[in-house]
């Protein structure tokens, strides 16, 4: 068996949005939401853009979920007491959001961690505005969005995204890439013409484990993906594979997986 090409993609970030930005709250804002101390509405839908999602707080008007929308709020709740006296840009908020929103994301979509890393949908989180935070607001909001970090625009979501990945998900929601390689390429739904598909993931450590270092993460990912992709392709004589691995910052944020890609138009 010959593995003809190994393509390496070094990824630099997760979908931990909403930190370190100038205080803005998206387009088409609702004045009643801008500095609201009250927690947002669970299940609300919005027409969010990547620019909206890049902001720490969001007050985009909610719309009827029967209308075209790119985001749906799937989790809302109070922040833990440890943030009562914290600043609104406390770095610990990102870790809390990753643990909370990612776990609830999997449950909401009906998928495990491996599957959600291979879908075009992702999540974003928001906190109160700086003014509302100063008035004592301490809540978080998690939204499922129809795209990811590299998306220039989002795809519309169904009326209710709950259970979207249950069973065998439609290719409209699985992630692929068109082109010679995956490095720097825009991720697209696998229902479109493509050359690469994200097919498996590898878990590299348990929560709480120290970061094993770039070299070990890369080598372990490469070796696993070589075998895993070969098996997924039913052991052809010649095949191409790629892999996405993350660095220490993403590890510390909570990610423990790398993604394996198969070169395939299927």
Predicted confidence pLDDT, tens digits, the chain (266 residues): 434 444 444 443 344 344 444 468 988 899 999 999 999 999 999 999 999 999 999 999 999 999 999 999 999 999 999 999 999 999 899 889 989 999 999 999 999 999 999 999 999 999 999 999 999 999 999 999 999 887 888 999 999 999 999 999 999 999 999 998 887 788 899 999 999 999 999 999 998 899 999 999 999 999 999 999 999 999 998 999 999 999 998 898 788 999 999 999 98
* 180 and 138 assigned to the same domain: no
pLDDT of residue 23: 62
* 105 and 36 assigned to the same domain: yes
pLDDT of residue 88: 94
* 51 and 140 assigned to the same domain: yes
Angle, CA 184 vertex, CA 182 and CA 189 arms, to 5°: 60
* 7 and 41 assigned to the same domain: no
Domain count, the chain: 2
Q: Decide which of 113, 145, 177 is a domain's last residue.
A: 145
Q: Decide which of 112, 145, 178 is a domain's last residue.
A: 145
* 194 and 233 assigned to the same domain: yes
For residue 178, give its domain range: 2-13+169-263
* 41 and 122 assigned to the same domain: yes
pLDDT of residue 220: 96
Confirm if 6 and 222 have CB atoms less than 8 A apart.
yes
In a domain, 54, yes or no: yes
Q: Decide which of 145, 178, 211 is a domain's last residue.
A: 145
* 6 and 54 assigned to the same domain: no
In a domain, 18, yes or no: no
pTM score, two decimals?
0.83
pLDDT of residue 185: 80
Check residue 173 and report its DSSP letter: G
pLDDT of residue 11: 43
In a domain, 134, yes or no: yes
Nearest to 121 by CA among 95, 97, 143: 143
* 35 and 97 assigned to the same domain: yes
Q: How far apart are CA 18 and CA 72, in angstroms?
A: 16
In a domain, 81, yes or no: yes
What Å distances lie between residue 171 and 35, 192, 253, CA to CA?
A: 39, 8, 29
pLDDT of residue 13: 38
In a domain, 156, yes or no: no
């Amino acid at each position: 068996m010959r593995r003809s090409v190994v393509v390496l993609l070094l990824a630099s970030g997760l979908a931990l949005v909403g930190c370190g930005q100038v205080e803005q709250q998206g387009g088409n804002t609702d004045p009643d939401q801008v500095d609201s101390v009250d927690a947002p509405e669970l299940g609300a839908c919005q027409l969010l853009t990547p620019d909206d999602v890049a902001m720490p707080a969001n007050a985009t008007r909610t719309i009827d979920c029967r209308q075209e929308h790119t985001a749906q709020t799937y989790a809302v709740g109070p922040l833990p007491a440890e943030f009562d006296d914290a600043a609104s840009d406390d770095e610990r908020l990102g870790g809390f959001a990753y643990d909370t929103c990612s776990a609830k994301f999997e449950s909401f979509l009906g998928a495990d961690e491996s599957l959600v890393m291979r879908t075009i949908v992702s999540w974003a989180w928001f906190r109160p505005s700086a003014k509302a935070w100063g008035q004592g607001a301490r809540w978080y909001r998690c939204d499922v969005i129809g795209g990811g970090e590299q998306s220039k625009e989002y795809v519309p979501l169904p009326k209710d995204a709950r259970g979207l990945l249950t069973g065998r998900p439609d290719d409209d929601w699985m992630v692929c890439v068109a082109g010679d390689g995956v490095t720097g390429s825009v991720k697209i739904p696998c229902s479109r013409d493509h050359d690469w598909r994200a097919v498996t993931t590898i878990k590299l450590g348990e929560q709480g484990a120290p970061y094993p270092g770039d070299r070990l993460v890369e080598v372990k990912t490469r070796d696993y993906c070589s075998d895993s992709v070969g098996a997924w392709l039913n052991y052809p004589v010649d095949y191409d594979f790629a892999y996405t691995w993350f660095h220490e910052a993403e590890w510390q944020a909570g990610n423990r997986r790398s993604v394996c890609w198969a070169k395939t138009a299927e």
